[in-house]
A and B are shown apart, each in its own frame.
Chain A
Amino acid sequence: MLNTLVSLSPSLKFYWLIGGVASLLSIASLIGWLLKSRLARNPQPNEKSMKVVNNLVARVNAWWVMVAVFAIAFLAGKLGTIILFAFISYFALREFMTLTPTRAGDHRALSLAFFVLIPLHYYLIYTEWYALFTILIPVYAFLLMPCISVLAQDTECFLERAAKIQWGVMISIYCISHAPALLLLDIPNFTGQNALLLFYFMLIVQLSDVLQYVFGNLFGKTKVASVVSPNKTLEGLIGGGLSTILIGAVMWWITPFTPMQSAGMAAVIVIMGFLGGLVMSAIKRSLGAKDWGSMIEGHGGMLDRMDSVSFAAPIFFHLTRYFFTP
């Protein structure tokens, strides 16, 4: 069975994966529908469980849309995938900057971040200009954005503003872009299959979130970080994390890794994703909000869905690059 899977062509593997995800979502939709109709039969429905079930259904529906968008971008090839992630960065940065108190003096630097930096950075991934890709934002944008802002001569909270803008740009553009940057890695014996590695990464990050949510809702008792993120529980983290690592090991046939390496990579993704979720939640709260936005029904904003991606992607990218490319 496994040998057949490994020897499938990349595009056949992709169809198997999409089929697998669609079946998982169908099961989730069915469970949501069953829970909903069971609640509807109850003459005095518990308001809290009603809320949880409605949110579950909304989340699953949004997942269908996200998976469809993702599948279309994948089928459109490298350019389609890169454009999709450029838009994800755009929406993430829009949410970050909406909550960040910037001033009129930052206007030009911000405009350039949206309309020049995002296209340029993703263009570098497209043309596989790796060296400039790694330093464009940490070096050039880091130095030039405050240079542009300073011309407005507004010193009120200058350091805070510059720091917050840099954070927003790092998280929303630089970190998230390391997921599609997997496409530019030259991995021996894996040529032409990098899109599958990106699929693997996104699958593991998102499964980790979903399974932690499921385990947390079913068995969650002990809060891990009640102040920062009241929904995260120890039971959710352990149950969701371990099952994700197991799935990661089983999915080794779409990666350049052995099953053990694949489990290790999945573990790194789970841990970084979990911690990233906590950090982003703390930032969100320090900016005075509960959700980053409302663009994805049931989930919140784009950054609520991409918070774990932004922390896991650069580490996963560099581990893969260090250990699996010449």
Chain B
Amino acid sequence: MLIQFTRLGLIGLVKLLVGANPRWVDAAPSLEQSIYFTNHSSHLDTLALWAALPVGIRTRTRPVAAKDYWGKGKIKRFIALKVLNAVLIEREVSRHSDPLAPLLEALGKGDSLIIFPEGTRRTQVEPGDFKGGLYHLAEAFPQVKLVPAYLNTLHRSMPKGSLLPVPLICTVRFGGTIALQEGEHKKNFLIRAREAVLKLI
């Protein structure tokens, strides 16, 4: 009850602030298991993309969030784990554990994911280079659809270090799916994935 209420409240707030209107450019929304990957330019990204998904897809799609930020504090943990049903990962790579393990586990259970392959926020129009995570997930789960998405105004709505956002309408553009090709080199695949996002700008 409280979870549902907070969820509706958060979605309402995000729509009031930044609209988060979906536009399916070369694709139609699909209930099939997918990984949505997008540029990362502000704190609102996760919520905006999540709010833009049709409700049927949203309930089975889990954002990926950094444990060092979202895992701390009661309210943040409640929102991340209960409301958003996020998968928390370690940002620091350690020798002992595979940071992708929680993602692989979620995909194994049939969940869809929202990931930011750049790793960190970058308040610019174009996304930075993609890190290898997306490649490893695609390799481990070749049947999962890879859906590129682009969030267009959030770097202006909430640049790094700003206290209040500026409400600007964010259109969440979803592109056609891409797939890891047989024997495709990691570097080439990541460049191709980034270009799929760039095409939506």
Q: Could you say which of B46-54, B134-142, B156-164 contacts chain A?
A: B156-164
Q: Could you say which of B75-83, B98-106, B165-173 contacts chain A?
A: B165-173
Closest B residue by C-beta to A111: B164
Is there contact, CB below 8 Å, between B166 and A111?
yes
Is there contact, CB below 8 Å, between B166 and A293?
no
Residue B120 CB within 8 A of the other chain: no
Residue A159 CB within 8 A of the other chain: no
Residue B85 CB within 8 A of the other chain: no
Residue A107 CB within 8 A of the other chain: yes
With A104-B159, A107-B166: A294-B21 Cβ-Cβ less than 8 Å = yes
**How many A residues touch B, CB cutoff 8 Å?**
17
Complex Cα gap A115–B16 (Å): 13
Minimal beta-carbon separation of B11 from chain A (angstroms): 16
Complex Cα gap A295–B171 (Å): 12
Is there contact, CB below 8 Å, between A98 and B162?
no
Determine the main DSSP class of B at the interface with A: loop
Is there contact, CB below 8 Å, between A107 and B159?
yes
Complex Cα gap A294–B164 (Å): 25
Residue B61 CB within 8 A of the other chain: no
What mask results when residues 1 to 24 of chain B are scored 1 for a CB within 8 Å of chain A, else 0?
000000000000000000101000
- Complex interface: chain B residues within 8 A of A97 (CB): 166-168
- Complex interface: chain B residues within 8 A of A104 (CB): 123, 156, 159
Inter-chain contact total with CB atoms closer than 8 Å = 35
Residue B39 CB within 8 A of the other chain: no
Minimal beta-carbon separation of A156 from chain B (angstroms): 15
Minimal beta-carbon separation of B21 from chain A (angstroms): 6
Is there contact, CB below 8 Å, between A94 and B168?
yes
Residue B153 CB within 8 A of the other chain: yes
Is there contact, CB below 8 Å, between A98 and B168?
yes
Residue A217 CB within 8 A of the other chain: no
Among A98, A108, A295, find the residue whose CB has the most chain B CB atoms closer than 10 A: A98
Among B162, B165, B169, find the residue whose CB has the most chain A CB atoms closer than 10 A: B169
Minimal beta-carbon separation of B9 from chain A (angstroms): 17
Is there contact, CB below 8 Å, between A95 and B169?
yes
Residue A182 CB within 8 A of the other chain: no
Which residues from 162 to 200 on chain B have a C-beta closer than 8 Å to any C-beta of chain A?
A: 162-169
Which size class do B's interface residues fall under?
Answer: 10 to 19
Complex Cα gap A114–B156 (Å): 14
What mask results when residues 101 to 115 of chain A are scored 1 for a CB within 8 Å of chain B, else 0?
010100110110011
Is there contact, CB below 8 Å, between A115 and B156?
no
Is there contact, CB below 8 Å, between B156 and A94?
no
Residue A174 CB within 8 A of the other chain: no
Is there contact, CB below 8 Å, between A102 and B156?
yes
Which residues from 86 to 132 on chain A have a C-beta closer than 8 Å to any C-beta of chain B?
A: 90, 93-95, 97-98, 102, 104, 107-108, 110-111, 114-115
Is there contact, CB below 8 Å, between B164 and A98?
no
Complex Cα gap A102–B162 (Å): 15
Question: A108, A111, A114, A293: which contacts B169 (Cβ < 8 A)?
Answer: A293
- Complex interface: chain A residues within 8 A of B21 (CB): 294
Complex Cα gap A115–B162 (Å): 14
Complex Cα gap A294–B169 (Å): 10
Question: B162, B163, B167: which contacts A114 (Cβ < 8 A)?
Answer: B167
Is there contact, CB below 8 Å, between B167 and A94?
yes
Is there contact, CB below 8 Å, between A114 and B159?
no
Is there contact, CB below 8 Å, between B153 and A98?
yes
Is there contact, CB below 8 Å, between A110 and B166?
yes
- Complex interface: chain B residues within 8 A of A98 (CB): 153, 168-169
- Complex interface: chain A residues within 8 A of B153 (CB): 98
Closest B residue by C-beta to A93: B167
Contacts beyond the supplied A108-B162, A111-B163, A111-B165: 10 A-B pairs with Cβ under 8 Å: A94-B168, A97-B167, A97-B168, A98-B169, A107-B156, A107-B162, A111-B166, A114-B166, A293-B19, A294-B21
12 residue pairs A–B, Cβ–Cβ below 8 Å = A93-B167, A94-B19, A94-B167, A102-B156, A104-B123, A111-B162, A111-B163, A111-B164, A111-B165, A293-B19, A293-B169, A295-B19
User: Sorted from nearest, which 9 A-B pairs have the closest CB atoms?
Assistant: A111-B164, A110-B166, A98-B169, A98-B168, A94-B167, A104-B159, A111-B166, A107-B162, A114-B167
